[in-house]
A and B are shown apart, each in its own frame.
Chain A
């Protein structure tokens, strides 16, 4: 038998092809589906862990003759991902639940389970690459398909986690993965990609927050930076930085959300030109190599999953805070999201955006 690997399967094309490739490469594969917390929307089509998705993944496992199990991680997912998500919005942040799920669930619960089962690796259908150098260090590198690259949400992984990880799709383009799915005659070869967050369902994240928030949102004021009152809002969790929709119309010119002041429960708005920020302070910074190569340097920073990387300088401040100074202002650097530093295609590390400024 080959090296033992546990594949995280969602019943989708990517993880199914990942599993098939590993079988072809001679690995001793076990498939696992993580049963996440999905609230009241068990029937949501795009969520994994629906009976259909389980059946589809089981069918793939059956086709390639490897065992497949469903593991319940509802409790942990609820605490570490969903509750954090709700709390973050209530504090005026815009969280990235996939980032936290990867760190605590897939590379937490699942890796843990896999290790205990005697597996050397876990594998997922993410579009990302891991390159191992001769010193034994694992480098996290963008997937070949730049449009699909998922290193943004994987940038919180540690050396130890990466050393026990395989990304079979890192060197492939999505079209090639579909092609492989057809070649393998997978039942899921034409299944659509999932789009939204797996746990919010058809109601979207705003509807989800309305249903599950733990503190009733307080109405508050909408102000300009200079303190001028421009209107009222019904709760901070309905706003995100850069948002234009829902900001009191009839002001003549379009206004945008500049920042959310959770302390005073105020939405700060401004004109388009006030929107940009060029300084980011991050907390809980994770260096992929385990330690910073240097205390300061130049890199490119990506502030959202779909954002275009921007050239920047970074410096380490006290208490693990990393200050990122971008070469130009960006409109949607948002507290709660992740700032990922890249050197070309390689991820240097990332931290959670704590605050942004303009200098």
Chain B
């Protein structure tokens, strides 16, 4: 069976040139960057070159780059590390997050509330998934220790006004973090302009390897290390540096950013064709997230009268790899909290579908999907109706 991969928000394949860039650091140049000898120096050279290169991509001269094991670790380090250290300095205990955060932020904030004496408050989002800045403004006061708002949402694709949010926080001297795990693959991020205090990324979303990411932290801002040990990463994250993966991440990022504008134009055209045709050909369908301010590769829907899990299975069997918005291989049909936060009613939220495009996606792929999807949806609805009728 011909299979079509349309789940690039879940993960992406590693580019061949990235694999080649990594290979020497598994074998011939295997040294530990912390070692004093020649082998160590070679490895350290590679890491520090990568650090300079990634700063260049993000225009991040005023930032420390802390290499981590990925997006979740970066989010955990930012939330825990900033909240715990900042509370020590100013006594503030309230953490504000949006109601559409990835669990790496949401669950961490919840745990900080349950176990460490913080108060976690969720900010409203509009129907289009964009965080309500007026509510943020109302909430900002001396009690707030940290604000974290996702940049590009993984489930509904909406892009939040991060620059404005960071500015509001800074007017009150409050620290601001953004989870840019999805956004980094599709937005040209200029940190000197965006001016956030902490920013998380993960390599495997932009054709880099899994298991590596980074946290950008504005210089001199507080951060309590969450992994302590040998003092690597300027003491912010202990553990022997994963040299090949770090080299691979930065190489992938450079390649991705070289063509980001052209690729975005191509993807937006495909995405909008997909959205238009799905809404036109499938009755009782609805786009989730913002119609324009959304990730260039991201189309997400809800369909009335069917289960998202059944839809994924039917599409997988037809050769399409898609998602319902968040990982749900366990078949647990709880409506997504993100969709509920957008005001979508629970029965509708169960019928969610996320299609995310990437470098190998062709117009032909989408034409095929657009031929099959209405049929699949129709059949599933008929089945469900029959069953409920019985």
Q: Known contacts being A116-B383, A117-B317, is A69 close to B331, with CB within 8 Å? A: yes
The yes or no answer to A190 lying at the interface (CB within 8 A) is no
* B332 pairs with A72, CB closer than 8 A: yes
Taking a contact as CB atoms closer than 8 A, the residue among A35, A69, A112 that contacts B332 in the complex is A35
* B331 pairs with A71, CB closer than 8 A: yes
Q: Give CA–CA (A344, B367) in the complex, Å.
A: 60
Q: Give CA–CA (A51, B329) in the complex, Å.
A: 10
Minimal Cβ-Cβ distance residue in B for A117: B317
Contact-size category for A: 10 to 19
The yes or no answer to A88 lying at the interface (CB within 8 A) is no
The yes or no answer to A70 lying at the interface (CB within 8 A) is yes
Residues 8 to 45 of chain B near chain A (Cβ within 8 Å) = none
Q: Give CA–CA (A35, B334) in the complex, Å.
A: 13
Interface string of A42-58 (1 = CB under 8 A from B): 00000000010010001
Interface string of A28-51 (1 = CB under 8 A from B): 001001010000000000000001
Q: Give CA–CA (A33, B307) in the complex, Å.
A: 16
- Write the nearest CB–CB distance from B389 to chain A, whole angstroms: 13
Taking a contact as CB atoms closer than 8 A, the residue among B307, B330, B333, B379 that contacts A54 in the complex is B330
The yes or no answer to B316 lying at the interface (CB within 8 A) is yes
* A residues in contact with B72, CB < 8 Å: none
Q: Give CA–CA (A200, B332) in the complex, Å.
A: 19
Q: Give CA–CA (A291, B379) in the complex, Å.
A: 35
Q: Known contacts being A35-B330, A54-B329, A116-B383, is A72 close to B309, with CB within 8 Å? A: yes
* B residues in contact with A58, CB < 8 Å: 329
Most chain A CB within a 10 A radius of its CB, from B309, B313, B317, B332: B313
The yes or no answer to A248 lying at the interface (CB within 8 A) is no
Q: Give CA–CA (A307, B332) in the complex, Å.
A: 38
The yes or no answer to A292 lying at the interface (CB within 8 A) is no
* B residues in contact with A112, CB < 8 Å: 387
* B residues in contact with A72, CB < 8 Å: 307, 309, 331-333
Residues 323 to 346 of chain B near chain A (Cβ within 8 Å) = 329-333
Q: Give CA–CA (A163, B248) in the complex, Å.
A: 55
Most chain B CB within a 10 A radius of its CB, from A58, A116, A117: A116
Residues 56 to 71 of chain A near chain B (Cβ within 8 Å) = 58, 67, 69-71
Taking a contact as CB atoms closer than 8 A, the residue among A54, A67, A74 that contacts B317 in the complex is A67
* A residues in contact with B379, CB < 8 Å: 116
- Write the nearest CB–CB distance from A117 to chain B, whole angstroms: 7
* B383 pairs with A70, CB closer than 8 A: no
Taking a contact as CB atoms closer than 8 A, the residue among A30, A70, A74, A116 that contacts B329 in the complex is A70
Q: Give CA–CA (A35, B310) in the complex, Å.
A: 13
* B residues in contact with A74, CB < 8 Å: 333
Interface string of A115-142 (1 = CB under 8 A from B): 0110000000000000000000000000
Q: Give CA–CA (A54, B379) in the complex, Å.
A: 27
- Write the nearest CB–CB distance from B313 to chain A, whole angstroms: 5
* A67 pairs with B329, CB closer than 8 A: no
- Write the nearest CB–CB distance from B2 to chain A, whole angstroms: 15
* B residues in contact with A67, CB < 8 Å: 316-317
Q: Give CA–CA (A186, B179) in the complex, Å.
A: 40
* A residues in contact with B330, CB < 8 Å: 35, 51, 54, 70
* A residues in contact with B316, CB < 8 Å: 67, 69
Interface string of B271-315 (1 = CB under 8 A from A): 000000000000000000000000000000000000101000100
Q: Give CA–CA (A33, B313) in the complex, Å.
A: 13
- Write the nearest CB–CB distance from B323 to chain A, whole angstroms: 14
Please name 19 pairs of A and B residues whose Cβ atoms are closer than 8 Å in the assembled complex, sorted by A: A35-B330, A35-B331, A54-B329, A67-B316, A67-B317, A69-B316, A69-B331, A70-B309, A70-B329, A70-B330, A70-B331, A71-B309, A71-B313, A72-B307, A72-B332, A72-B333, A74-B333, A116-B383, A117-B317
Other than the given A71-B309, A71-B313, A74-B333, 18 more pairs (CB < 8 A) read A30-B317, A33-B331, A35-B331, A35-B332, A51-B330, A54-B329, A67-B317, A69-B313, A70-B309, A70-B329, A70-B331, A71-B331, A72-B307, A72-B309, A72-B332, A112-B387, A116-B383, A117-B317
A positions within 8 Å CB-CB of B: 30, 33, 35, 51, 54, 58, 67, 69-72, 74, 112, 116-117
